[in-house]
Copies of this chain bind each other. A is one copy, B any other.
């Protein structure tokens, strides 16, 4: 089946126009972005080259006109394949001036010397360039204004094309989870189980599996973000896998819990509690509500089922070009839910000391109710 790869130029033109409308409303003449998802959002530039910390990469979005790429020469051919026309390069690495002068000159040329220049500086952002170089840029261009809210409001609400990519990767990972009882069994080590499950996700068609955590434990699990050990899976174990897999640079992020051979009633009850909490979160997730309403809907169910609390700090989050994005379902987040948000619902509880149960599904918010992107988990703890 043929699926669209990447996006047509009109997608990026529309993203840029939305950004520029917000910039104009907030008096921002230009914004600078320098992390992988931010640069990709405006340009379509998609490469694992970001794994290398050596070189900084910038995109400048002026309040009118197309974004301008300010990047190391090694990226010019790939950037030329995007919708971007104005690509300015330097030969990097060049520690004495790794893009600093080219970036500041570009900003001045685009919007003048006394412009208001924005940079994302708030929650869930960081500046991917050496701090000493950032200080030079700041002293040259003046202090930045924080444009986290602009970037956040853009990226939180997905386009139909973005949602289609989420739908596809969630379907692929759902297929892989359906196959899990055939590829993981008692007698394997955790490491072997991870390897088998990763291979299955890729065989189902994912591009990559950047995030895979999980654990096994006798009758329960204490740490849900662990990496695998040489522990051998045995009868009576619980297993959790939580994966952020990608297609075309868009993530799924959901988990599944299983028991091998048998499970205690307390584990089954904990599973049912987080499953019911997910139902409650799904019902609450509609335009007009807030992320805190969604949190409270899930938390009520967990409290009614004897939760001893949890360490996750939230019960789900946005999903997109990163495995987690704004907003967060917390008691105080209060972000208004909007149509076309792609979100996770991730209620978790500690049902006994050292025993945690976390369930996670992915949804897209519609005008009149949400849609499951992940294939809804079984309401009862699956036993392999």
Contacts and interface: CB of A to CB of B under 8 A. Distances in A.
Interface of A: 5, 46-49, 51-55, 72-78, 81, 91-95, 98, 119-132, 134-135, 144, 146, 148, 195, 198-199, 202-203, 208-213, 222-223, 225-227, 229-230, 244, 311-314, 317, 322-325, 328, 330
Given A47-B225, A76-B311, A313-B74, A54 B124 contact: yes
B126 A121 contact: no
Given A74-B313, A223-B78, A330-B93, A53 B324 contact: yes
Contacts of A230: 5
Contacts of A227: 46-48, 78
A126 B124 contact: no
B48 A212 contact: yes
A318 to B, nearest CB: 10
A160 B98 CA distance: 33
A126 B222 CA distance: 33
A123 B330 contact: no
A313 B5 CA distance: 30
Given A91-B313, A124-B130, A132-B122, A211 B53 contact: no
Nearest to A123: B95
A120 B131 CA distance: 8
B125 A313 contact: no
A53 B124 contact: yes
Q: How many copies does the complex hold?
A: 2
Contact of A202 (B127, B199, B229, B330): B199
A271 B126 CA distance: 41
A51 B244 contact: yes
A131 B328 CA distance: 20
A130 B123 contact: yes
Contacts of A91: 311, 313
A78 B222 CA distance: 10
Contact of A199 (B135, B199, B314, B317): B199
Contacts of A119: 131
Contacts of A98: 123
Contacts of A47: 213, 225-227
A130 B130 CA distance: 14
Contacts of A52: 211, 322-324
A92 B313 contact: yes
A317 B54 CA distance: 10
Nearest to A194: B207
Nearest to A311: B73
Contacts of A72: 313
A360 to B, nearest CB: 13
A40 B91 CA distance: 31
Given A128-B126, A227-B46, A313-B73, A51 B328 contact: no
A131 B123 contact: no
Contacts of A132: 121-122, 146
A136 B107 CA distance: 26
Contact of A51 (B48, B127, B211): B211
28 contacts: A5-B230, A47-B225, A47-B226, A47-B227, A49-B225, A51-B211, A53-B126, A53-B325, A54-B123, A72-B313, A74-B225, A74-B313, A75-B225, A77-B222, A78-B225, A93-B123, A93-B124, A98-B123, A120-B131, A121-B131, A121-B135, A123-B130, A125-B130, A126-B127, A127-B127, A132-B146, A195-B202, A199-B199
